[in-house]
A = this chain, B = another copy of it.
Amino acid sequence: MAQAKFAQIKQFILSRIETGEWQENDRVPSENQLTELFVCSRMTARRALTELVASGVLERTQGVGTFVAGLKSQSSLLVIRNIADEIKDRGHGYSVTPLELKQIDASTAVANALGLEVGNPVFYSVLVHCEQGLPLQVEERFVNPKLVPKYLEQDFRLQTPHEYLSAVAPLTEARHTVEAIMATELLQQRLAIEATEPCLQILRRTWSRQGVVSFARLVHPGSKFKLTSALVNE
Protein backbone atom coordinates (compact mmCIF):
# COMPACT_ATOMS: atom_id res chain seq x y z
CA MET A 1 0.00 0.00 0.00
CA ALA A 2 1.53 3.26 -1.14
CA GLN A 3 -0.14 5.20 1.61
CA ALA A 4 -2.41 4.23 4.45
CA LYS A 5 -6.07 4.48 3.51
CA PHE A 6 -6.96 6.90 6.28
CA ALA A 7 -4.09 9.11 5.12
CA GLN A 8 -5.47 9.06 1.55
CA ILE A 9 -8.84 10.20 2.85
CA LYS A 10 -7.21 12.99 4.85
CA GLN A 11 -5.34 14.11 1.74
CA PHE A 12 -8.53 14.02 -0.30
CA ILE A 13 -10.26 16.32 2.16
CA LEU A 14 -7.29 18.60 2.71
CA SER A 15 -6.69 19.14 -0.99
CA ARG A 16 -10.30 20.11 -1.54
CA ILE A 17 -10.06 22.64 1.24
CA GLU A 18 -6.78 23.99 -0.02
CA THR A 19 -8.07 24.61 -3.51
CA GLY A 20 -11.05 26.38 -2.03
CA GLU A 21 -13.53 23.87 -3.41
CA TRP A 22 -14.77 23.36 0.12
CA GLN A 23 -14.99 26.64 2.00
CA GLU A 24 -15.34 27.51 5.64
CA ASN A 25 -18.46 25.97 7.18
CA ASP A 26 -19.10 23.80 4.15
CA ARG A 27 -20.22 20.32 4.98
CA VAL A 28 -17.78 17.52 4.27
CA PRO A 29 -18.96 13.98 3.43
CA SER A 30 -20.29 12.03 6.40
CA GLU A 31 -18.53 8.95 7.68
CA ASN A 32 -20.93 6.73 5.79
CA GLN A 33 -20.47 8.61 2.55
CA LEU A 34 -16.69 8.39 2.85
CA THR A 35 -17.07 4.69 3.56
CA GLU A 36 -18.75 4.25 0.18
CA LEU A 37 -16.45 6.65 -1.68
CA PHE A 38 -13.27 4.97 -0.54
CA VAL A 39 -14.63 1.48 -0.11
CA CYS A 40 -13.46 1.22 3.46
CA SER A 41 -14.94 0.61 6.87
CA ARG A 42 -16.59 3.37 8.80
CA MET A 43 -13.81 3.23 11.40
CA THR A 44 -11.23 4.11 8.77
CA ALA A 45 -13.23 7.02 7.39
CA ARG A 46 -13.86 8.09 10.94
CA ARG A 47 -10.17 8.09 11.75
CA ALA A 48 -9.43 10.49 8.92
CA LEU A 49 -12.15 12.86 10.12
CA THR A 50 -11.16 12.56 13.76
CA GLU A 51 -7.56 13.43 13.05
CA LEU A 52 -8.53 16.42 10.95
CA VAL A 53 -10.76 17.61 13.76
CA ALA A 54 -7.89 17.20 16.21
CA SER A 55 -5.66 19.33 14.02
CA GLY A 56 -8.30 22.01 13.77
CA VAL A 57 -9.13 21.64 10.08
CA LEU A 58 -12.65 20.33 10.65
CA GLU A 59 -15.34 20.72 13.27
CA ARG A 60 -18.09 18.25 14.01
CA THR A 61 -21.30 18.13 15.97
CA GLN A 62 -22.95 14.95 17.04
CA GLY A 63 -26.17 14.44 15.18
CA VAL A 64 -25.46 17.17 12.64
CA GLY A 65 -22.32 16.58 10.63
CA THR A 66 -18.75 17.56 9.95
CA PHE A 67 -17.76 20.94 8.58
CA VAL A 68 -14.72 22.88 7.42
CA ALA A 69 -13.47 24.84 10.42
CA GLY A 70 -13.13 28.60 10.51
CA LEU A 71 -9.84 30.05 9.36
CA LYS A 72 -7.14 29.51 11.85
CA SER A 73 -5.26 32.11 9.90
CA GLN A 74 -6.82 34.55 12.31
CA SER A 75 -4.46 33.46 14.96
CA SER A 76 -1.16 31.78 14.63
CA LEU A 77 1.29 30.48 17.10
CA LEU A 78 4.62 31.71 18.23
CA VAL A 79 7.03 29.51 20.03
CA ILE A 80 8.84 30.67 23.13
CA ARG A 81 11.81 28.42 23.54
CA ASN A 82 14.23 27.74 26.30
CA ILE A 83 17.05 30.23 25.78
CA ALA A 84 19.86 27.79 26.45
CA ASP A 85 18.51 25.27 23.94
CA GLU A 86 17.99 27.98 21.37
CA ILE A 87 21.59 29.12 21.59
CA LYS A 88 22.94 25.59 21.54
CA ASP A 89 20.77 24.72 18.54
CA ARG A 90 22.39 27.56 16.65
CA GLY A 91 25.70 25.86 17.34
CA HIS A 92 26.89 28.78 19.42
CA GLY A 93 28.61 28.87 22.76
CA TYR A 94 26.29 29.19 25.74
CA SER A 95 27.25 30.49 29.14
CA VAL A 96 25.41 31.84 32.14
CA THR A 97 26.40 34.18 34.96
CA PRO A 98 24.42 34.22 38.21
CA LEU A 99 24.24 37.77 39.60
CA GLU A 100 21.84 37.47 42.51
CA LEU A 101 20.33 34.70 44.59
CA LYS A 102 18.58 35.71 47.78
CA GLN A 103 15.39 36.12 49.71
CA ILE A 104 13.45 39.39 49.43
CA ASP A 105 10.08 40.77 50.49
CA ALA A 106 7.35 40.60 47.88
CA SER A 107 6.44 43.90 46.26
CA THR A 108 2.83 44.43 45.26
CA ALA A 109 3.41 43.32 41.67
CA VAL A 110 5.33 40.20 42.70
CA ALA A 111 2.84 39.28 45.40
CA ASN A 112 0.01 39.56 42.89
CA ALA A 113 1.81 37.47 40.32
CA LEU A 114 2.63 34.72 42.80
CA GLY A 115 -0.65 34.82 44.70
CA LEU A 116 1.01 35.79 48.00
CA GLU A 117 0.64 38.67 50.44
CA VAL A 118 2.67 41.86 50.06
CA GLY A 119 5.79 41.62 52.20
CA ASN A 120 5.86 37.83 52.26
CA PRO A 121 9.29 36.33 51.68
CA VAL A 122 10.03 35.24 48.11
CA PHE A 123 13.17 33.83 46.54
CA TYR A 124 14.80 36.00 43.94
CA SER A 125 17.43 35.23 41.33
CA VAL A 126 19.04 37.13 38.49
CA LEU A 127 21.02 35.42 35.74
CA VAL A 128 22.55 36.66 32.52
CA HIS A 129 22.46 34.18 29.63
CA CYS A 130 25.15 34.74 27.01
CA GLU A 131 25.65 33.63 23.42
CA GLN A 132 29.30 33.56 22.38
CA GLY A 133 30.02 35.57 25.51
CA LEU A 134 27.53 38.35 24.66
CA PRO A 135 24.50 38.90 26.91
CA LEU A 136 21.31 37.73 25.20
CA GLN A 137 18.91 37.56 28.10
CA VAL A 138 18.59 38.79 31.65
CA GLU A 139 16.45 36.41 33.62
CA GLU A 140 14.94 37.85 36.77
CA ARG A 141 12.91 35.31 38.66
CA PHE A 142 10.65 35.37 41.71
CA VAL A 143 9.92 31.97 43.21
CA ASN A 144 7.24 30.86 45.64
CA PRO A 145 9.23 29.55 48.65
CA LYS A 146 6.35 27.40 49.85
CA LEU A 147 6.47 25.30 46.71
CA VAL A 148 10.23 25.34 46.14
CA PRO A 149 11.88 25.62 49.58
CA LYS A 150 15.38 24.71 48.40
CA TYR A 151 15.59 27.19 45.53
CA LEU A 152 18.34 29.26 47.15
CA GLU A 153 20.60 26.25 47.59
CA GLN A 154 20.92 25.57 43.87
CA ASP A 155 23.88 26.32 41.65
CA PHE A 156 22.38 27.72 38.47
CA ARG A 157 25.60 27.41 36.53
CA LEU A 158 24.98 23.68 36.47
CA GLN A 159 21.23 23.65 35.89
CA THR A 160 19.02 26.53 34.76
CA PRO A 161 16.26 27.64 37.14
CA HIS A 162 13.77 26.44 34.58
CA GLU A 163 15.22 22.96 34.53
CA TYR A 164 15.37 22.81 38.32
CA LEU A 165 11.82 24.05 38.74
CA SER A 166 10.51 21.61 36.15
CA ALA A 167 12.06 18.75 38.07
CA VAL A 168 10.85 19.88 41.48
CA ALA A 169 7.36 21.09 40.61
CA PRO A 170 6.14 19.62 37.30
CA LEU A 171 4.48 22.52 35.57
CA THR A 172 0.94 22.29 34.38
CA GLU A 173 0.50 25.69 32.82
CA ALA A 174 2.39 28.78 31.78
CA ARG A 175 1.28 32.22 30.69
CA HIS A 176 3.30 34.77 28.87
CA THR A 177 3.16 38.39 27.95
CA VAL A 178 5.48 39.87 25.35
CA GLU A 179 6.11 43.58 24.98
CA ALA A 180 8.67 46.11 23.86
CA ILE A 181 10.31 48.19 26.56
CA MET A 182 13.26 50.49 27.13
CA ALA A 183 15.84 49.03 29.49
CA THR A 184 16.45 50.55 32.89
CA GLU A 185 20.02 51.64 33.61
CA LEU A 186 20.67 48.46 35.52
CA LEU A 187 19.38 46.34 32.66
CA GLN A 188 21.47 48.34 30.19
CA GLN A 189 24.57 47.46 32.18
CA ARG A 190 23.65 43.84 32.50
CA LEU A 191 22.86 43.46 28.80
CA ALA A 192 25.78 45.69 27.76
CA ILE A 193 23.58 47.80 25.51
CA GLU A 194 23.11 51.48 24.75
CA ALA A 195 20.34 53.51 26.36
CA THR A 196 18.67 53.86 22.96
CA GLU A 197 18.26 50.16 22.31
CA PRO A 198 14.74 48.80 22.69
CA CYS A 199 14.26 45.45 24.41
CA LEU A 200 11.86 42.56 24.12
CA GLN A 201 10.44 41.65 27.49
CA ILE A 202 8.73 38.36 28.23
CA LEU A 203 6.80 38.00 31.46
CA ARG A 204 6.27 34.39 32.34
CA ARG A 205 4.18 32.88 35.09
CA THR A 206 4.28 29.14 35.66
CA TRP A 207 1.87 26.95 37.57
CA SER A 208 2.18 23.51 39.07
CA ARG A 209 -0.59 21.48 40.60
CA GLN A 210 -0.18 23.39 43.86
CA GLY A 211 -0.30 26.91 42.51
CA VAL A 212 1.93 29.59 41.01
CA VAL A 213 5.50 28.40 41.15
CA SER A 214 7.39 31.34 39.76
CA PHE A 215 7.20 34.63 37.98
CA ALA A 216 10.00 35.49 35.58
CA ARG A 217 10.97 38.57 33.66
CA LEU A 218 13.10 37.80 30.62
CA VAL A 219 14.63 40.78 28.84
CA HIS A 220 16.42 40.57 25.48
CA PRO A 221 18.17 43.25 23.47
CA GLY A 222 15.91 44.00 20.49
CA SER A 223 18.78 44.02 18.05
CA LYS A 224 19.96 40.55 18.92
CA PHE A 225 16.85 38.60 19.70
CA LYS A 226 13.85 37.57 17.67
CA LEU A 227 10.97 35.28 18.42
CA THR A 228 10.21 33.10 15.45
CA SER A 229 7.12 31.10 14.74
CA ALA A 230 7.09 27.51 13.65
CA LEU A 231 4.06 27.18 11.42
CA VAL A 232 0.32 27.33 11.27
CA ASN A 233 -2.47 25.42 9.60
CA GLU A 234 -2.57 21.84 8.56
Instruction: Give residues in A with beta carbon < 8 Å to B.
Output: 17-20, 51, 54, 71, 73-82, 85, 162, 166, 170-182, 196-200, 206, 209, 220, 222, 225-229, 231-234
Question: Chain B CB within 10 Å — which of A80, A85, A179 has the most?
Answer: A179
CA distance A175 to B229 in the complex (A): 6
With A172-B233, A198-B180, A198-B181 as known contacts, state yes or no: A19 contacts B209, CB within 8 Å: yes
Contact, CB under 8 Å: A81 / B75? yes
Which residue in B77, B175, B200 is a CB contact (below 8 Å) of A80? B77
Q: A179-B226, A200-B200 are in contact. List 9 more A-B contacts (CB 8 A).
A: A74-B81, A74-B85, A77-B79, A78-B78, A78-B176, A177-B228, A178-B227, A179-B200, A181-B222
Contact, CB under 8 Å: A175 / B222? no
Which residue in B174, B182, B206, B233 is a CB contact (below 8 Å) of A171? B233
- Whole-angstrom distance from the CB of A62 to the nearest CB of chain B? 13
Which residue in B81, B173, B228 is a CB contact (below 8 Å) of A231? B173
CA distance A198 to B181 in the complex (A): 6
Chain B residues lying within 8 Å of A79, measured Cβ to Cβ, are 75-78
- Whole-angstrom distance from the CB of A148 to the nearest CB of chain B? 14
- Whole-angstrom distance from the CB of A71 to the nearest CB of chain B? 6
Closest 3 CB pairs of A and B: A180-B222, A198-B198, A78-B78
Question: Chain B CB within 10 Å — which of A18, A75, A196 has the most?
Answer: A75
Contact, CB under 8 Å: B179 / A222? yes
Chain B residues lying within 8 Å of A209, measured Cβ to Cβ, are 18-19
Contact, CB under 8 Å: A222 / B198? yes
